[in-house]
Structure 1
Amino acid sequence: MEGSGRDRSSENASSSGCRSTVSNAKFEIEKFDGTNNFGMWQCEVMDVFIQQELDVALGDIPDDMTDQDWRKLNTQACSAIRLCLTKEQKYFVMRETNTKKL
């Protein structure tokens, strides 16, 4: 998953048909379109969540976190998930702001 610092989306598209990916400086995840392996996609998204310290949003609110901070973290986590979905899949969760509903 670690990238070389360059955008490899065109490289992926030419080598395997028409793949769409989401990437940043460190990680690249193939967007989930409903036909690719959900379990593998889920594992890759979880790895990115852990690296970005968003995985806490998938559990219960920590005792030492304010409601405002929790809402912000949850919104960031939902956004990260949506960025890893194709438009067709994103349609079903585009208004969600709570990871418990995703």
Structure 2
Amino acid sequence: MEGSGKKRSSRNTSSSRHRSTVSNAKFEVKKFDRTSNFNMWQCEIMDVLIQQELDIALEEKPYDMTENDWKKLNTKTYSTIRLCLTKEQKYFIMRETNAKEL
């Protein structure tokens, strides 16, 4: 309003209102059952692996990592992925032993 003497703030309040942080958040991924969008599910799984610092298991073993640590990391990664599958889908990967093979 003109003449009211009030100045509108030039700050964009909508962007500050929509800003949020994620810290120590629990991520939920709907279990893949072949009826949902696989690409979206895969993206969500990758995000979870990155947040848990498990995505390295999808690469080659780092030269400075012991075999025992690599095995633990790989097992944890594999388990995380399996937990996001329905029982029917787990059946197809039960024999896999490496996260890279999934």
Who is 2:90 aligned against? Answer: 90
Question: What number of residue pairs does the alignment pair up?
Answer: 78
Which structure exhibits the higher relative contact order, with contacts defined as CA atoms closer than 8 Å and separated by 6 or more residues? 2
1:92, distance to aligned residue in structure 2 (A): 1.0
Who is 1:78 aligned against? Answer: 78
1:97, distance to aligned residue in structure 2 (A): 2.2
After superposition, the C-alpha distances for 1:1-37 in whole angstroms (9 at most, x for unaligned) are xxxxxxxxxxxxxxxxxxxxxxxx6111010001100
**Structure 2: which amino acid aligns with 1:79?**
S
Rg larger in structure: 2
Alpha-carbon distance between aligned partners in 1 of 2:26 and 2:72, rounded to the nearest angstrom: 23
1:63, distance to aligned residue in structure 2 (A): 1.1
RMSD: 1.1
1:49, distance to aligned residue in structure 2 (A): 0.2
Who is 1:59 aligned against? Answer: 59
Quote the sequence identity (%): 72
Alpha-carbon distance between aligned partners in 1 of 2:43 and 2:70, rounded to the nearest angstrom: 23
After superposition, the C-alpha distances for 1:37-65 in whole angstroms (9 at most, x for unaligned) are 00000000000000000000000101110
Q: Give unmatched runs, 5+ long, in structure 1.
A: 1-24
TM-score by length of 2: 0.73
**Structure 1: which amino acid aligns with 2:42?**
Q
Q: Is the partner of 1:91 in helix, strand or coil?
A: helix
